[in-house]
Structure 1
Amino acid sequence: MSQQLKFVVEQLNKEPFKKNLNLILFDSLEAMQLLQLLNDVLAEVDPKQAIDIREEQPEQTAKRMFSLLGMLKYKPLGNQTDASSFRRGLVAGHKPVVHPLLHWLLQRVPELKKRAYLARYLVKLEVPAEFLQDEVVGDTYHQYEDLVETFKNYHKGCEQLKASGFSTAEIRKDIGVMEEEKDQLIKRVERLRKRVETVPSHQRMLELARQLRVEKEREESLAHQKQEQKNQLFRAEQRLQVSQQKLKDLGQASVDTDPESLMRKLEEEIKINTYIVTEKLPKELDSTRRTVHFLQKIKEVSAQIKQLTEKRLMRSDPTDNKLTLFRQQASIIVRKKEAKAEELQRAREELAAAERELAQRSSSQGRGDDQEEVVRGDELKRLVAKLRGKGSTHKKRRAELAELKAENGVLQRTEEVLAQRSQDVLQQLTMWRKEHLCLGPPPKVVLVPFFTRW
């Protein structure tokens, strides 16, 4: 801390402050004097801050300092992280708040000067959005933004020039060289003038040379004017061609037109627009309204269905949940039984077809020659083997069908037992309600058979 105070005192004793302070005097400054000293340092950074704080209200002083410090991006050090405590300490001129601030400012005065200068032009004004809706205000704000961007570009170019290596010493040296060249040229002109003065009628020759120079400049000016007039003539010819083409198009369009035809066209357009407004658009609007109404009804019905589903789930009988598993098993068995019955029917049809084919081959066997008898005998063996395979398959299907029938009977018996148990439970529940709750009997449960006997 002592090093900070020493640095602050040294900087305040230098240019441009020249306060002639020492550590004892600086430490003995009162709150108002310390704030004035801080304000002087801020005025060095931003000349707008050069104000005697005794002539200013404390609230205005605090607001002005806080605004500048926020623009300079100052962050309180140490235990001043709390913004409210920092503000109170700065307004009251507390040394633990002001001393670190002075140290921070005096360490980087050139940098802060530049930042304050740029902030004067780059910090944009906050304009409410509703004000920007006005055309004049909006255009003015856009011009303001364009000027800010222009300032950025100019400042960037200036910084680049400063960093490019040019110094004032070099510029002064170049100026000195150019002044020397100027003196040499003046001396040369004087020598030439003295030489010309010895020539007879030199005044007339100088006048003629001056007139020649003037005429040449005039010739160049006239040539430039001639070129400009040629360009203007070319642009005027182009505009003339465009106007002539427009006139020609209008003339062609008005060849067969008269007031009556124009009136008819206008009447047709009016009829079309009237039809669109009075018939087409209302129909489309009604159709859209009906669609919206229909969709709203669908939404309401969906909500009602959802509510009814929830109510049904809440009011469902617990005995139905016990029977659900057996019903699912029964439905699976029924589907298996139907599939096996279809397979059995196909096997029977194949067996009948094989028997018919065997009968045909047996009847036609006696009418063939020896070679044909051998071939038909082999075919007969294959048919017999195929028939045996079909027979074994038929037996397997019959066995599976018998098993399914047995399982179906077991499930039917299970259903009957569960139904009887359900009735017993309901009777017991009814008796318990009558004895303890004095409520009416529960709703009657009707069990619908799910199985079909074979």
Structure 2
Amino acid sequence: MSDQIKFIVDSLNKEPFRKNYNLITFDSLEPMQLLQVLSDVLAEIDPKQLVDLREEMPEQTAKRMLSLLGILKYKPSGNATDMSTFRQGLVIGSKPVIYPVLHWLLQRTNELKKRAYLARFLIKLEVPSEFLQDETVADTNKQDISAMEEEKDQLIKRVEHLKKRVETAQNYQWMLKIARQLRVEKEREEYLAQQKQEQKNQLFYAVQRLQRVQNQLKSMRQAAADAKPESLMKRLEEEIKFNLYMVTEKFPKELENKKKELHFLQKVVSEPAMGHSDLHELESKINEINTEINQLIEKKMMRNEPIEGKLSLYRQQASIISRKKEAKAEELQEAKEKLASLEREASLKRNQTREFDGTEVLKGDEFKRYVSKLRSKSTVFKKKHQIIAELKAEFGLLQRTEELLKQRHENIQQQLQTMEEKKGISGYSYTQEELERVSALKSEVDEMKGRTLDDMSEMVKKLNSLVSEKKSALASVIKELRQLRQKCQELTQECDEKKSQYDSCAAGLESNRSKLEQEVRRLREECLQEESRYHYTNCMIKNLEVQLRRATDEMKAYISSDQQEKRKAIREQYTKNIAEQENLGKKLREKQKVVRESHGPNMKQAKMWRDLQQLMECKKQCFLKQQSQTSIGQVIQEGGEDRLIL
């Protein structure tokens, strides 16, 4: 079944279909979509089948497809009951019914195109009775019927001729019987092959269902292994926050933007067509508005109000955070989509590896160890990645605030320098700042020294008290832990012993089982060989018995004194046939002799007849010419008489 689906998918991805399927997407098609694919393939064979199934009734679809499949000589497997299930499966879009049809059609598309083209000229048309009342239509229909009857008679004669030729061969009845048995066995072989294919399909679907269930079980077990209330609550809170953000902030913004774009486009469409002059006016207006905006920005920068500066800083930070939030939400959405695609690819790779060698890559303890390693690495990676993201975000914010503060500081310094130069005390602020900074640093160092000494003494006291409390609390637990460690060592030793015993026993049983399987396989092969030899000898014995019976009957008929029995003998029949053929040959030779003798006079008579025809045709032409001349003379004479009268 997998090879069949692979062939179907490869053929549909090529010209002229270009479906762009893979094994998973094709297998996950709905029944209506699968029927549409079948209809498209039939439309490629016969262009009249190009129909959208959403605009057609199911009964009409089934009737149309069944009629075309009948013209193309498609034979579904099975008897009458299977034919009814085939029709039902074709109506409901069943995969076990449609997959073999697609495989059969795609294997021989060019041949079926030719058959579908010729079918319109070879199928008998059902002419209504009211049209048969017309003589031309009735005559044409009769001619077609007579031509078909003549073809039928010719075929019957040819079959009879072939039968006569075959009847002369030896062992005619036996060979005919063997041919019938061969045809029956071939039909049975096809039926069994189709049943085997259906069972393979069912097995393939069952294996796929088992894989899906196993994957669900693994995911549920992994989720149960990590299922702590705190982690589950944290995960749910994160998902709720993300979904709330998407629903309340991102999606409404996108919807509002789309509505604005739609409104703008509708407005543009509703307005009349614009010329070059209108465009120039709009461009001039846009330039004027841009200049006004630039002037307002310059005025705002010249004012340099501190409150507005603080607010602009917070606004910028808020806008940066919102942009980062949107970017992270988009990254999360892309990561989810990528995770889903990777999961699909992983399932596809697992299926491919299973098809290649029939085994998984990792199993049992190795897979568990590998998963535990991946989990530990993924948790470490997530923590590090989260720390890096937080540090990057904080670094960006701090960098932006630093830039803004530097700009403000430079502006203030420039203003202060200008004021000092005006007052004549340049450098005063710098020296004052240095003195204040030195004094502040000295006071901070003194405070830090006293604070660190106090903190260290308090920290030592707290640590001593905590150590004493933990020792008292862990004393009982340590005692229990020692006992449990001893028990664990004993149980591990016992487990290792039992495991070694089990492995040795399992290895012995496995070797015995393999030996028994080889012996059973050898005995089955011998049994099959003996059975085939037995059937062959039985067939040979029956053939020899038939030949012996025919030989004894022939001898009895040849030896017996009864004339009727002698006539039944094959020798008498052959002699009779030979005598009839010799008489027929004599008659034909006599007829040939008569034809040869009369050929010369007959050819002379045919030549005389052709000469007579030419002579009569010449006389006819002369008579017509003479008659035309006499009529012209009479007309001339009548004209002359009229002139005399005038």
Q: Does the alignment reach a TM-score above 0.5?
A: no
More helix by share: 2
TM, length-normalised to structure 2: 0.23
TM, length-normalised to structure 1: 0.32
Relative contact order (C-alpha < 8 Å, sep 6+): which is higher? Answer: 1
Larger Rg computed on CA atoms: 1
